[in-house]
Amino acid sequence: MTGCNKPLMDYRLKYLGTYQVTSYNTSWMMGQAPLIDTSFYSIEVKRSDERYYIDFISENGETSYLIETNGKLHYKSHDFHYQVSGNFTDKNHFELSGGYYGLGGGNSFKAFGIKQK
């Protein structure tokens, strides 16, 4: 008997590429009006060396997200004040939201990415 050693499909492949990101940002401090701005940047999404993770890479650094087969993204923060969650809505778009929340202030964001190539 011979066995079939067919490699498993890596479900992360469809999400890899360069994305243009629009991020809507809000920061606030107690007793002051919130500051709202929009930022635009690009990121590279690559497979991580760790199984089931992908890396979001920008000029500001690299962030690894656990990615489920349905495109849901998880970020494990070592600081309980910082939270991020999101998902790929299809193979060409993702959404992330989160922020840093503390006593008397914080910041939040909602980011949308569109695949360029």
Domain, as residue range, for 91: 17-115
The average pLDDT across 45-58 equals 90
Q: Within a domain: residue 47? A: yes
DSSP string, 21-87: EEEEEEEEETTSPPEEEEEEEEEEEEE-SSTTEEEEEETTEEEEEEE-TT-EEE---SSTTEEEEEE
Q: How confident is the model at residue 87, as a pLDDT?
A: 95
Quote the percentage of the chain above a pLDDT of 70.
Answer: 93
Q: Within a domain: residue 11? A: no
Tokens matching residue 91: 């193979």
Q: Within a domain: residue 52? A: yes
What is the rounded average pLDDT for all residues in the chain? Answer: 88
The average pLDDT across 10-34 equals 92
Q: How confident is the model at residue 2, as a pLDDT?
A: 54
Q: How confident is the model at residue 51, as a pLDDT?
A: 84
CATH number of the domain within which 110 lies: 2.40.128.20
Q: Within a domain: residue 108? A: yes
Q: Within a domain: residue 84? A: yes
Q: Within a domain: residue 3? A: no
Q: How confident is the model at residue 5, as a pLDDT?
A: 58
Q: Within a domain: residue 29? A: yes
**Is 6 a residue whose pLDDT tops 80?**
no
Does 76 or 95 have the greater pLDDT score?
95
| Number of structural domains the chain divides into | 1
